[in-house]
A and B are shown apart, each in its own frame.
Chain A
C-alpha cells in the first residue's frame, strides 16, 4: 500500500514537473478562464444582486470548462514515446497511476482557480474572500471531483483519435450533480451567509460524489488501461 502511494506521488511529481516546464495546459486553461470571465462581465450589465445570484453558476461553468483543458492532457501526455506502456508495465499499481494523475490535475486546476478568483471578484464585485475558509473548502471538494472524473475519462479516451472532443461529451453529464452542489454552495457563501447549515446538503453531495468517483476510478482504472 505504502509503495503505491510512493508511486502515486512520483507520478504526480513527474506530471507537475513537466507541466511547469512546458506550461502547456496551465497557460491554456488560465487564459481561457480569464477571457471567459472578462467577456461575461462586459456582455451583461447587471446589478450586484443579480451578479450575486448567478455568481456560483458562472464561476463553476468556467472552472468546469477550464478543468476539461487540464484533465484532457492527463493521460494524453503519456502518448509521445509510448510512455503509458512503460508506466503500465512498471510495478506501480494502476490505482497509484490514477491517484497520481488525479493529484496533479487537482493541483493544476487549483492554481488556475486561484489565478482567476481575484479577477472574478474584481469584475463582478463579489467579496469572495469574506468566507475564505468555506469557499476554499467547497473549491477543494468540487475540484477533486472534477479531477478524478476527468482523469478517469482521460484514461478512457486516451487511445481515441478525437479525444479532445469526446472527453467533454463524456465528462460534463457525469459532473452535473457535483456542479449543482458546488454552484449552490458557492452562491450561498458569496451572498454573505456565514451559516454553514445552509450548505450542508451541498457539502454532503460533494463529499459523497468525491468518495464514489474516487473509489470507481481506483477500482476500474486497470480495466480501462489494459486492453
Chain B
C-alpha cells in the first residue's frame, strides 16, 4: 500500500505555479529523496504534505485516507527549515509540550528517551537558548522523532548540522526505516541522501521530471541524476 499518494497537485502563488501537476506515490517504508535546485518546489510540496499550506488543486492521501486533519497530523513528524523549538523552554519542557500535543501516553518517559537518543539527556534542564547550534538541531530532531511517526517529512535535514548531529540523524532515520516508517526528505546533500534513499524524485520548476527507485549510478556520481533526467541535461 502507498504510504502517501500525491495526485495532480498544483500550487499557485499569485500567478506563479510553484507546483505543476505533481503526482508521486510513495510506498510504505520507503525513503524518498526529493531533489531539485533552489526554487524547484521541494519546500512547497513538503509544506503541503505537512498541512502547512493548501494545494490549489489536487489530492493527497495517506494510507488511502485524505492527508489532513488531527488524525493525519498525529502520524507525521515534521522537521522544517526552522528548528521548531522554544528558546525559553528547557530541552525537556520543549519535548513535554510536543509530547502532550501528540497525545503521547507518558510524555515525560518519551521525552527522556528521545533526549537520550540524541545525547541531550545530561542537559535536559538547560534552556534551548543556551545550547550550541548543533545541540539545538539535535533537540529539533528529538522533537520530530519522539512520537514515532509513521511518516517523516524532513526539509533539508542535513543542512548546517555538525558531524555529530548528522550521525545522530542518520542513525535515527535508519532506525525509523527499520521500524517501517516512510521518509520524505528534500535535500541538496546528495551523498547523505543517496545513502538513505530507496526512491528519488527530481523536481524542476514545480514539475516532477523523474520519479523512481534509487539506482547505483546515483551513488557513484551525484550529478548523474541531474544530467540524465534534468531538463538542462536533456
Residues of A within 8 A of B (CB): 3, 6-7, 10-11, 14, 17-18, 21-22, 80-83, 85-93, 226-227
Contacts and interface: CB of A to CB of B under 8 A. Distances in A.
A18 B94 CA distance: 11
A90 B82 contact: no
B9 interface: no
A226 B84 contact: no
Contact of B52 (A83, A89, A91, A92): A89
Q: What's the dominant secondary structure at chain B's contact region?
A: loop
Given A81-B85, A91-B74, A226-B54, A86 B103 contact: no
A90 B78 CA distance: 9
B85 A10 contact: no
Interface string B70-105: 110110101011111111110001000110111100
B93 A82 contact: no
Contact of A14 (B76, B84, B86, B87): B86
Given A91-B101, A226-B51, A227-B54, A82 B74 contact: no
Closest 3 A/B residue pairs (Cβ):
A82-B82, A86-B84, A91-B74
B38 interface: no
Nearest to A223: B54
A80 B84 CA distance: 8
B100 A6 contact: yes
Most chain A beta-carbon contacts within 10 A, residue among B71, B76, B86: B86
B53 interface: yes
Contacts of A87: 101
Interface in B115-174: 143
Contacts of A93: 70
B166 to A, nearest CB: 20
Interface residues of B, number: 30
A226 B52 contact: yes
Given A21-B88, A22-B88, A89 B51 contact: yes
13 contacts: A3-B103, A7-B101, A10-B97, A11-B97, A11-B101, A17-B93, A18-B86, A85-B78, A86-B98, A88-B51, A89-B76, A91-B73, A227-B52
Contacts of A91: 70-71, 73-74, 101-103
B126 to A, nearest CB: 13
Contact of A227 (B53, B70, B86, B103): B53
B50 interface: yes
B111 to A, nearest CB: 13
Nearest to B153: A89
A83 B73 contact: no
Interface string B42-71: 000001001111100000000000000011
A3 B104 CA distance: 11
A147 B71 CA distance: 29
Given A14-B97, A81-B87, A89 B82 contact: no
